A and B are shown apart, each in its own frame.
Chain A
Amino acid sequence: MLNRKLIQGLVFKRRGHCSPSGLTSLLALLLTLLPVGLWGQDPEFLVSRSPVGRPGGRLVVSLRAEPKTLLPLNALDASSKEIQGLLHADLIHIHRPSQETRSALAQQWSRSRDGMRYTLRLRRGLKFSDGQPLTVADVLFTFQVLLDEAVKAPGRDLLRVEGKFPTLRAVGEDSVEVALPAPYAPAERLFDSIAILPRHKLEAAYRSGKILEKWTMGAAASEIAGTGPFRLKEYLPGQRMVFERNPHYWKRDSAGVRLPYLNEVVMIFSPNPEAELLRFRAGESHLHSRLTARGYSSLSGLPPQERPMLQDLGPGLEQHFLFFNQNDLTGSGMSALLAKRSWLQDVRFRRAISLAIDRAGIARLVFQGKASVLSSHVSPGNRLWFSGASSLPARSVEEARRQLKAMGLILKGDVLVDPSGSPVSFTIAMNAANSEQRQMAAIIQEDLRGLGITVALAPLEFRSLIDRVLNTKDYEAAILALRDGDVDPTAQMPMLLSNGRMHFWRPNQAQPATEWEAEIDRLMKRQISDGNEKRRKENYAQVQRIISRELPFLALVSPHVLIAAHRNLRNVQPSVLAPHLIDGLDEMYWAAENNKP
């Protein structure tokens, strides 16, 4: 019910590789030429490619949790990040629907031949929401604060390349040059979601070492300035946040109307999904990006004149998987675990389990069919990197039995026993707050009962679970979910590299414990510095093949992203990348007068 998405926190920062598309550059070029004479003082607008809409109106969106901070430097939780997208803007933005990078505050950018230096030119005439101009100094200030070791901003490490940080300097009046410490294929994606901060508001606090205490949720609206489509108007703790249109926003539509269209956006907080759904259905909120399959089918059952716009975007980047404890436990004193090690850490055992699990059943029963069965750790929702190279062997209990028999695990009556005669049984730990994972576990439990394996389930509170998996390593098997923030494989590095902290099954290895882990290390390191996209994809496909052969974790399913929007809303651009709907708020508009609250 609460924190139903355990994946909170396992949000991987988006990184990726993509050069500006030809079209974008052409458009940007046109735009630099066009507006100078036409609008005089007006900024060098980014022109929206969406249909022209009508201004006005108020939109209500419900957030699952209350944002924790208004300061982008502090934003760790999903809600704060969503709010950040309304209030602030970045230099280069990942366009969520296409998963590609696009120009934002930086009007254009170029890459040096060695791939180590990027030059970004700012749009002319940019202004913060309080009317103050945005200059190169603000950009430099933002990065200075972000990279300052003394500030300890949690987002700092996102900029780390090969252990070192990039350096910035001003080039001329309107450009900055970013020097990377090493070649980095997806460098443009680094800039996404780095909000450019107003120096005039924050510099004093930064100098006195108190910048992280600024812009808390209690801060006055007048204190906050940004370059996002909206600005803060009012905050009622625990109830709602009200945003008004930023009159200095830097986008316009093709008819010349300055965006955003909406006058006001209200964020309400619905910690429980029931109230969220009830509100949406009652028309009290207008966007719903976390629909469950049941919610989806209940909305689609409404009469046509009441039915909202509904879309099944297919599998998202979220995936659930089962894995077994592969840590070297010698000398750990966990005797119960040590006794099971011989089969628990055998790849044939994992294969047998994988063969016996009814993944299609999970997708059908737990997600009412609104989920896709996974064959590797790359979800089909990842359009750029899903290779389809690995295929899942068909479910076969007989084959699973054969595998187990080959390992020396034999059926005695109804019970599978190991060579020492003790029954084969293990405990699956999962997030207690995630009812979907509890149901998955119940299905797996029933499936494995057919093999004679007794599975116990231990729902744990989320932080206790993570503590067990990553620190104390006192567990046998666990179900976790990952939700990648970005599609680029670089996001997977901490999980795939054998010395990674997120190498769930055996984290922080000094030396790769197995040959195949060493091979993955090599492939992943090779792809990151490679500018050639085709070779990167080949390398990554190889990694996917190794994973599905060795099964360090059993990928189960990837739920579909189901969204709903009010039927009179236009320019709704949903994406499988989070946030699924509100990234395009600046272009959304109300089609009919009567739905303009």
Chain B
Amino acid sequence: MTRPAWRLQAVSALAIWYALLAGFAWMAPYSWREQHREFASAPPTAIRFVDPTGVWRMPFVCSLAPAPDSPGSYREDCAVRHDVWLFGRAQDGRMVVLCPEQPGVLFLFGTDELGRDIFSRSLAGGLVTFATGVVATLVALFLAFLGGSLAGLLGGWPDLLISRGTELLMALPALYLLLALRAALPIQTPPLLAFALAVALISLLGWARPARLLRGVVMSSRGEGYVLAARGFGAGPVYLLRKHIFPRLRGVLGAQAAVLLPQFMLVEVALSFLGLGVAEPLPSWGTMLSSIQYDLVADRRSWLGFPAILLTASILISGRVARAMELRSQPAGGAPRETTP
């Protein structure tokens, strides 16, 4: 496969992945905040094709009822069947992917402690996690581009200042900045905004590493003969940046974006593990994962790990894009060779 085609494929895989996530979140069987308190901690609902008499039927789910003796366990009664429709209409009139006939319930990956559908929450949570990753990546890349190219182009004391500054930022524990931030915000700040600010703050700290990388690229570009030649034609720094350096940076920026996106998504997860993630009832992969930690050990409810699978898949795809982007930082004709034919 040729390089551009491979690159295109990787990028579109990422796009398709998140489009699918968004689409399914839109058509999730349940709302991410709906609490089915009578079905708390329910295991995944099985979609069946064979009824107890051994007859093949259209896909259906059995009627579910809490077991009277122990909380968190449920009994299926397959004498009462509810058909499952692909793309049916839910009670509230929404079009949903998998729709059980009322009053049947269908929890593809079970429910959490409050009886919320994990499948629906994972999809919506993915969007929250993804959005925070994208916001943080954009902010960080913009700052990195600014800082890195300034340091690399100007050299001298601006370079020294920016280089040491980034070192400082990299060493600063971001954690207590976050503590400070949420504590300093007005209490009425909407949770999502507060969280977005926290993420923006992380990216304010996260730009240091890509900035150093970009500075290196700018530095080496600055020493390139063609940049020197352009200066011989009277080119100013803005022209050099725009015409000669930025095209080289573009590939690096793209690769960095693909590297930073999963990194910042993982920051979201880490924040949630420390209890500083997005507030309930808004789901995110981070909050969902941090809340299952104990359950995984205490109960054998492995299906709770569904968001972990989605998260890993997202990072896998991002990694592919990063590698595709790195190839872009080489000219299409291949690097010029020293020898003459």
**A interface residue numbers (CB < 8 A to B):** 1-2, 272-274, 277-278, 292, 294-295, 297-298, 336, 358, 361, 364-366, 368-369, 427, 429, 431-435, 438-439, 441-443, 445-446, 456-461, 464, 467-468, 474-476
When the two chains form the complex, which single residue of B71, B113, B183, B186 contacts A439, counting CB atoms closer than 8 Å? B113
Q: Say which residue of A272, A358, A468 sits within 8 Å of B187 (CB atoms).
A: A468
Chain B residues with CB below 8 A from A439, complex form: 113-114, 280
Q: Please indicate the chain B residues that have their CB under 8 angstroms from the CB of A361 in the complex.
A: 37
> Are A273 and B37 touching (Cβ within 8 A)?
no
**Residue B224 at the chain A interface, CB threshold 8 Å:** no
**Could you write out 7 A-B pairs with CB less than 8 Å apart?**
A294-B294, A295-B298, A365-B40, A429-B187, A438-B279, A443-B35, A475-B187
How many residues of chain B have a CB within 8 Å of chain A? 37
B115's contact among A2, A336, A365, A475, by CB below 8 Å, is which?
A365
A457 touches B293 (CB 8 A): no
Kindly state the separation between the CA atoms of A361 and B71 in the bound complex, as whole angstroms: 12
Q: Which of A294, A427, A474, A476 contacts B295 (CB 8 A)?
A: A294
Distance, CA A474 to CA B183, complexed state (A): 11
Inter-chain contact B35/A446, CB cutoff 8 Å = yes
Expressed in whole angstroms, the Cα–Cα distance for A467 and B184 within the complex equals 11
Q: Please measure, in the bound complex, the distance between the C-alpha atom of A408 and the C-alpha atom of B186, giving whole angstroms.
A: 28
Interface centre among B37, B70, B186, B294 (most CB of A within 10 A): B294
The CA-CA distance from A71 to B183 in the complex, in Å, is 33
By CB atoms of chain A within 10 A, which of B40, B280, B281 has the most?
B280
Does A467 contact B183, Cβ atoms closer than 8 Å? yes
Asked if B209 is an interface residue, CB under 8 A from chain A, the answer is: no
Q: Is there contact, CB below 8 Å, between B280 and A438?
A: yes
B71, chain A: closest CB distance, angstroms:
5
Q: Complex: how many Å from CA A281 to CA B270?
A: 27
- For B271-307 the 0/1 string (1 means CB < 8 A from A) is 0011110011100000000110111111100000000
CA distance A61 to B72 in the complex (A): 30
**Contact A1 B293, CB 8 Å, known A441-B280, A464-B179:** yes
Look across to chain B and name the residue whose beta carbon is closest to the beta carbon of A300.
Answer: B70
A1-B293, A366-B113, A445-B280 known; A461 vs B179 contact (CB < 8 Å) = yes
In contact, A458 and B280 (Cβ under 8 angstroms): no
Question: In angstroms, how far is the closest chain B Cβ from the Cβ of A17?
Answer: 39
Give CA–CA (A561, B113) in the complex, Å. 20
Q: CB distance A442 to B294 under 8 Å? A: no
| Interface presence of B190 (CB below 8 A) | yes
Partner of B113 from the list A365, A433, A434, A461 (CB cut-off 8 Å) is A365
Q: Of all chain B residues, which has the CB nearest A276?
A: B297
State whether A427 touches B275 (Cβ < 8 A): no
For residue B194, CB closer than 8 A to chain A, the reply is yes
Closest 3 CB pairs of A and B: A464-B183, A432-B275, A294-B298
The listed residue (A1, A298, A358) touching B298 by CB distance below 8 A is A298
Cross-chain contact B188 with A433 (CB below 8 angstroms): no
Which residues of chain B come closer than 8 Å to A474, judged between CB atoms? 186-187
Name the B residues within 8 Å of A336 (CB-CB): 186, 188
- Say how far A373's CB is from chain B's closest CB, in angstroms: 15
Closest to A299 in B: B298
Q: With A369-B71, A445-B280, A460-B183 in contact, do A2 and B294 touch (Cβ < 8 Å)? A: no
| Complex Cα gap A464–B279 (Å) | 16
In the complex the two chains form, is A461's CB within 8 Å of B276's CB? yes
- The CA-CA distance from A220 to B294 in the complex, in Å, is 37
Known: A364-B71, A456-B190. Is A292-B298 also a contact (CB below 8 A)? yes
Residues of B within 8 A of A2 (CB): 274-275
Give Cα A456–Cα B281 distance, bound, in whole angstroms.
Answer: 9
Hey, which chain B residues are within 8 Å of A432, CB to CB? 182, 274-276
Give the residue name and chain of the B residue nearest to A370 (CB).
B71
| A residues near B113, Cβ cutoff 8 Å | 365-366, 439
- CB proximity of A67 to chain B, nearest CB, Å: 23
Interchain CB contact under 8 A, A446 and B33: yes
Give the Cβ gap from B35 to chain A, nearest Cβ, in Å: 5
B-side residues, CB < 8 A to A, are 33, 35, 37, 40-41, 70-72, 113-115, 179, 182-183, 186-191, 194, 273-276, 279-281, 290-291, 293-299
Most buried by A among B179, B276, B281: B281
How far does the alpha carbon of A366 sit from the alpha carbon of B115 in the complex, in Å? 11
Contact A274 B293 (CB under 8 A): yes
Give the distance to chain A from B52, nearest Cβ to Cβ, in Å: 28
| A458 to chain B: closest residue by CB | B187
Q: Could you say which residues of chain B place their CB within 8 Å of the CB of A272?
A: 293
Does the CB pair A274–B280 fall under 8 Å? no
CB distance from B17 to the nearest CB of A (A): 29
> Which of chain A's residues have a CB closer than 8 A to the CB of B114?
365, 439, 442-443, 446
Distance of A298 from chain B, by nearest CB (Å): 4
Closest Cβ neighbor of A475 among chain B residues: B187
Residues of A within 8 A of B290 (CB): 1, 435
Complex: chain B residue closest to A446, CB-CB: B35
Q: For the complex formed, measure the closest distance between the CB of A413 and the CB atoms of chain B, giving whole angstroms.
A: 16
* Chain A: minimal CB distance from B109 (Å): 18
> Which chain B positions have C-beta within 8 A of A457?
191, 279-281
Task: Specify which chain B residues have a CB less than 8 angstroms from the CB of A458 in the assembled complex.
Answer: 182, 187, 189, 191, 194, 279
CA distance A364 to B40 in the complex (A): 9
Complex interface: chain B residues within 8 A of A446 (CB):
33, 35, 114, 281
In the complex, A483 Cα to B38 Cα: how many Å? 30
Within the complex, the shortest CB–CB distance from A151 to chain B, in Å, comes to 32
B195 CB to closest chain A CB, in angstroms? Answer: 10
- Give Cα distance in the complex from A2 to B272, angstroms: 12
B297 & A277 in contact (Cβ 8 Å cutoff): yes
Most chain A CB neighbours (cut-off 10 Å) among B187, B290, B298? B187
Docked CA distance A368–B113 (Å): 9
> Of A429, A459, A474, which is in contact with the most chain B CB atoms at under 10 Å from its CB?
A459
Which residue on chain B has the smallest CB distance to residue A442? B280
When C-beta atoms are compared, the residue in chain A nearest to B40 turns out to be A365
Beyond the given A1-B290, A439-B114, A445-B280, please list 4 additional residue pairs across the A-B interface where CB-CB is below 8 A.
A361-B37, A364-B40, A456-B188, A461-B276
Which chain A residues border B194 with CB–CB below 8 Å? 458
Measured between alpha carbons, how far is A298 from B294 in the docked complex, in Å? 11
* Assembly CA distance A242 to B22 (angstroms): 55
* Neighbouring B residues of A298 by C-beta, 8 Å: 297-299
B197: min CB distance to chain A, Å: 13
Assembly CA distance A445 to B189 (angstroms): 16
B37 touches A365 (CB 8 A): yes
**How far, in whole Å, are A474 and B186 apart by their CA atoms in the complex?**
8
Could you say which residues of chain A place their CB within 8 Å of the CB of B186?
A: 336, 474
B204 to chain A, nearest CB (A): 19
Q: In the bound complex, how far is the Cα of B293 from the Cα of A457, in angstroms?
A: 22
Q: In the docked arrangement, what's the CA distance between A438 and B291, Å?
A: 11
Chain A residue at minimum C-beta to C-beta distance from B296: A274
With A298-B298, A460-B183 already in contact, the answer to whether A445 and B281 are too (CB < 8 A) is yes
Max chain B C-beta neighbours (<10 A), residue from A273, A274, A442: A442
- Give the distance in Å from the alpha carbon of A433 to the alpha carbon of B175 in the complex: 14
Contacts A368-B71, A446-B33, A476-B187 given; does A1 touch B299 at CB 8 Å = no
Q: In the complex, which residues of chain A have a beta carbon less than 8 angstroms from the beta carbon of B273?
A: 1
Q: How far is the CA of A197 from the CA of B40 in the complex (A)?
A: 52
